[in-house]
Amino acid sequence: MDKTIGSIDQETPLGNRIASVFVHVTDLRRSAEWYSRLLGLPLLEERLNGGPVYWLELPGTHLILDSNAANRQNPDWREADMPRVMFPASDIDQAYDYLQKKAETFFEPERHGTMAYFNFRDPEGNVHIACWTAQPSPDMELSAGSPIIARIGGVFVDVKDMKSSARWYRELLGLPLDEQTTAQSVCPVPVSQGASLLLDLHIHLKQKQVTEIFFFETDDFEASLAYVREEGFLPIHDPGRFENLTEFTLEDPDGNRILVCPMKR
């Protein structure tokens, strides 16, 4: 799968990259064990201390498993409000003022010590987070025992109107619109580093009820496929083998779908 990265100058309080992707789960320990085992990483018990999230500081874009334990105690909270991606903010107040003019913001910035954040919704209904941190978490140097690389190659955002959505996201991140890319069923939005931001029409075109959240990279597709089968991670269908793409899909314990595919460099 192609990875689109651009070093494009921008003048917005949001960084043009995905800092983290969220996967929403019901049993935090079970999910933390599943993703750690898939990637051949140790389970970090200190992160299973009763909080609502477990996080993996993967290079480029972090993975956050979120049980929404606190949110579920709020009678006004809805599952439709669960975020997909986190964008970094250079200044949370400037980001909030900026997003109020472009999106539906849920609340004023919440501040917790060295971090502050707020949620917002795009015109298609997708929910994201803008987050400022005084001390960003470093990427971990990962030594994994899996042929699936502990790195997120791209994150999918489901859309119905590609041209309108591409224009919105590019304007949000201070990027010029490339009309040619909007004719594709998956449209990349240039990022400066980390996982690609991929606008995906497939849920609309194929009337799909479940879509893939992101993909992990691999340098050895056949070894990755053999590994998941040996370890009991059963692909939900036969591997897809196309002219420019080879991939297989897994479901985590909550039915969240992720892809594994080689990366074009």
Q: Are residues 152 and 124 in the same domain?
A: no
Of 108, 133, 158, which marks where a domain is finished?
133
Of 99, 133, 167, which marks where a domain is finished?
133
142 within domain boundaries:
no
Dihedral of CA 100/103/105/109: which sign?
negative
Q: Are residues 160 and 128 in the same domain?
A: no
Residue, of 232 and 140, whose pLDDT is higher: 232
Across the chain, what does the average pLDDT equal?
88
* pLDDT for position 143: 61
* pLDDT for position 142: 64
pTM of the model: 0.90
Is the predicted pLDDT of residue 105 greater than 60, yes or no?
yes
Q: What is the DSSP string of 144-181?
A: -SSSEEEEEEEEEEE-S-HHHHHHHHHHHTT----GGG
Residue 180: pLDDT band with limits 50, 70, 90 = confident
Work out the number of other CB atoms within 10 angstroms of the CB of residue 43.
13
Between CA 60 and CA 14, with CA 90 as vertex, the angle to 5 degrees is 70
CATH code (residue 215): 3.10.180.10
As a whole number of angstroms, the distance between CA 243 and CA 165 comes to 28
Distances 29 to 20, 46, 261 between C-alpha atoms, Å? 19, 11, 26
Q: Are residues 168 and 250 in the same domain?
A: yes
Of 102, 133, 164, which marks where a domain is finished?
133
Per-residue model confidence as pLDDT tens digits over 208-242? 667 889 999 999 999 999 999 999 998 988 888 77
Q: Are residues 37 and 119 in the same domain?
A: yes
Is the predicted pLDDT of residue 26 greater than 60, yes or no?
yes
3 within domain boundaries:
no
As a whole number of angstroms, the distance between CA 95 and CA 128 comes to 13
Q: Are residues 184 and 85 in the same domain?
A: no
Distance of CA 156 to the CA centre of its chain: 7
Is the predicted pLDDT of residue 3 greater than 70, yes or no?
no
* pLDDT for position 9: 47
Q: Are residues 253 and 181 in the same domain?
A: yes
* pLDDT for position 141: 59
Q: Are residues 25 and 105 in the same domain?
A: yes
Helix (H, G, I), strand (E, B), or coil: what is residue 94?
helix
Is the predicted pLDDT of residue 8 greater than 70, yes or no?
no
154 within domain boundaries:
yes
Query: How many domains does the structure of the chain reveal?
Result: 2
Q: Are residues 119 and 153 in the same domain?
A: no
157 within domain boundaries:
yes
Q: Are residues 110 and 188 in the same domain?
A: no
Write the burial class of residue 90 (CB in 10 Å: 0-12 exposed, 13-18 middle, 19+ buried).
exposed
Per-residue model confidence as pLDDT tens digits over 45-98? 999 998 999 999 999 999 999 999 888 888 888 888 899 999 999 999 999 999
Is the predicted pLDDT of residue 1 greater than 60, yes or no?
no
| The residue to which tokens 């400066």 are assigned | 192
Mean pLDDT of all residues in 173-191:
85
Instruction: Check: CB of residue 84 under 8 Å from CB of residue 213.
Output: yes
Q: Are residues 47 and 111 in the same domain?
A: yes
Is the predicted pLDDT of residue 116 greater than 90, yes or no?
yes
As a whole number of angstroms, the distance between CA 233 and CA 224 comes to 11
Mean pLDDT of all residues in 29-44:
96
Work out the number of other CB atoms within 10 angstroms of the CB of residue 29.
14
Q: Are residues 158 and 70 in the same domain?
A: no
Is the predicted pLDDT of residue 10 greater than 70, yes or no?
no
**Boundaries of domain holding 161:** 148-262
Distance of CA 27 to the CA centre of its chain: 19
Q: Are residues 196 and 223 in the same domain?
A: yes
247 within domain boundaries:
yes
